[in-house]
Chains A and B, each alone.
Chain A
Amino acid sequence: MELPADVKKRLTLPFEEHFYAGHTACQGCGASLGLRYVLKAYGGKAIFTIPACCSTIIAGPWPYTALNAPLFHTAFETTGAVISGIEAALKAKGYKVKGEDGIMVIGWAGDGGTADIGLQALSGFLERGHDALYIMYDNEAYMNTGIQRSSSTPYGAWTTNTPGGKKHFLEQRPKKKVIDIVIAHKPAYAATASIAYPEDFMRKLKKAQTIKGPSFIQLFAPCPTGWRSPTDKTIELARLAVQTAYFPLFEYENGKYKINMPSPNKEPKPLEEYLKLQGRFKYMTKEDMEILQEWVLKEWEELKKKAELFG
């Protein structure tokens, strides 16, 4: 389809679609948007590995696929290892990996498959320095099995195995900082991204293509089903997560941190604005929200300090 010139001028993301209509994501799914952007970034030159997660279902059952790219479905904990093997095979067979015209090897896994059961394989992949990109799409729980907590689930969030009852809510632990664990491996490139800021995400995907060595992107992707949020609020929630500094956007490269916030000079918005849009936090009292707010600001100050010291 040919676009009118004025539309072309305004378009900042590639127009081509490589994520087919007819995929089976829920209404308002943040992860499926993320997958669409990744496919746009690498066109038809990427090999995907997807472990057990929502995306297994979203891509469709045999013999269908919603991705215009070769896709290997693998076991839950193996994304880091399988992409290592694919990269090794491409090198053994003399294919060009990464770069402008090279093949991108992509691991696309949820937070459970990354922060929990897949952490060991992720660590191995990073430490061995494979030329591949691992994307953790973070919807903060095991959504595919019906909303159970992962170590990426935040303090206070209702899930089916950390319910909020008349007396307590069971999720008492803060969100695991997977990106910090990744950075401890000194990868070639690590970044956070959000589906609310596709241009920033696209820029980071392109960067991962040019940098030699392992890259990691933690993509914030709200899940209306699991978050008990309205399906038309997905992007707004993803934006608020950044604006409240709950999920700040930054990059790590060559030992340097760079914060890339959309409005860098603005103070973070109050967290309550973000929390109140979601049913999963409705069990929290004012005091609980303050605990979480405090955590968020403390982490934010820590990140700013890192960017200042290692900027």
Chain B
Amino acid sequence: MNQRTIQVDALESEAIFIFREVVAQFEKPVLLFSGGKDSITLVRLAQKAFYPAKIPFPLMHIDTGHNFPETIEFRDRLTQELGVELIVRNVQDNIDNGTVKEETGRYASRNMLQTETLLDAIEEFGFDACIGGARRDEEKARAKERIFSVRDDFGQWDEKNQRPEVFDMLNGKIDLGQNVRVFPISNWTELDVWSYIKKENIEIPSIYFAHKRNTFLRDGLIWSADDAVVFRDEEEEVVERMVRFRTVGDMSCTAAVLSHAVDIAKVVEEIRDSSISERGARIDDKRSEAAMEKRKQQGYF
């Protein structure tokens, strides 16, 4: 018999509570999985919420086709180990069937195109709850998000008319065609996520750790030069640098940071001392002051 006491770890207990509410209140939930640190953390929390039973919903990856190969390899291995279903839907399919138009030029990115593919997949499978790893500390429009956030059948977020969310009572009642976006780690910060990954000894894709990579500079950010999908002018000089990625989005809009952090402990230390926010390396947020809010109104995560 283990005589230890389980202490409250408020953020973890809150997230587990939310996962259980999703499964109790919805018919067809899905966990949106990008292979990034936040969705990896979600997977661990989902495991904890239902253990010793398996995670009672599938994982879904909206693949932009511009993912880091390390992330895809990691994704496939993790889902196989957990024995959960993995659904993959490709942005390329929407480009091919003409429902979205590929951007061109210097800042071309497939990040925004994901929305269409996501909404199609929600309709295809009839998902009524989509669990995601967004955090309120990421961005100021995200900071306004409820934990259960209702979207209409166009996937739209009505940011000025959100349901009150009091205490920890989560109202999952929706009409047919609507769905709820659920954010179990809303209240976590980037540092909380890293500290948790360290404490739980959770495996993450190698691009999060410092490695040598061919890179070039644009707009004060460091971009990977190894990948054809990242736009580069001829005169932008390629230099090998020691870098890591702080966030794993679409390659075309995710910049690297200079780093020597080769393990989790070093990463935690680096984040703690960092004077730049996580989204500082995401060019898609810099398009305008309201970039995220606009994307969310259209059904983006």
Q: Do A and B come from one complex?
A: no
Residues of B within 8 A of A (CB): none
Residues of A within 8 A of B (CB): none
